[in-house]
Amino acid sequence: MEIMKNSNIIMYGFLVWLFIAPRNNSSRYGEFFLAYMAALLFSLVGSSELLMVKPAAFFFTIGGVFAFVYVVMRKTIHIAIKK
């Protein structure tokens, strides 16, 4: 299966896109998040065209999709413990 063979590329993509992700404490978080989302979208569309020629780019971007989901979940789910 291609996903298992390219799992290390997916992990590298996840780490790189997670590093690029906007930080929560930024005053312009919304603008940075929109730019991050647009860059990931264009990267996914561009790499899907290269899937047959160079599948590493596509799997790298799939790691970016996982990073995007992680960033969204981190922002929306807030766990608070009261003492």
Task: Indicate whether 60 belongs to any domain.
Answer: yes
Task: Indicate whether 25 belongs to any domain.
Answer: yes
What one-character-per-residue DSSP string does 26-66 give?
-TTHHHHHHHHHHHHHHHHHHHHHTTTT-HHHHHHHHHHHH
Structural domain count, the chain: 1
CA dist list (Å): 72 to 7, 38, 77:
22, 14, 8
The model's pTM is: 0.79
Give me the domain span that covers residue 23.
2-76
| Mean pLDDT value of segment 2-26 | 85
Residues 6+ apart with CB under 8 A from 32: 22, 26
CA–CA dist 72, 65 (Å, integer): 11
Task: Indicate whether 61 belongs to any domain.
Answer: yes
Question: 36-72, pLDDT tens digit by residue?
Answer: 889 888 888 888 777 777 788 888 888 989 998 998 8
Task: Indicate whether 82 belongs to any domain.
Answer: no
Model pLDDT, residue 15: 92
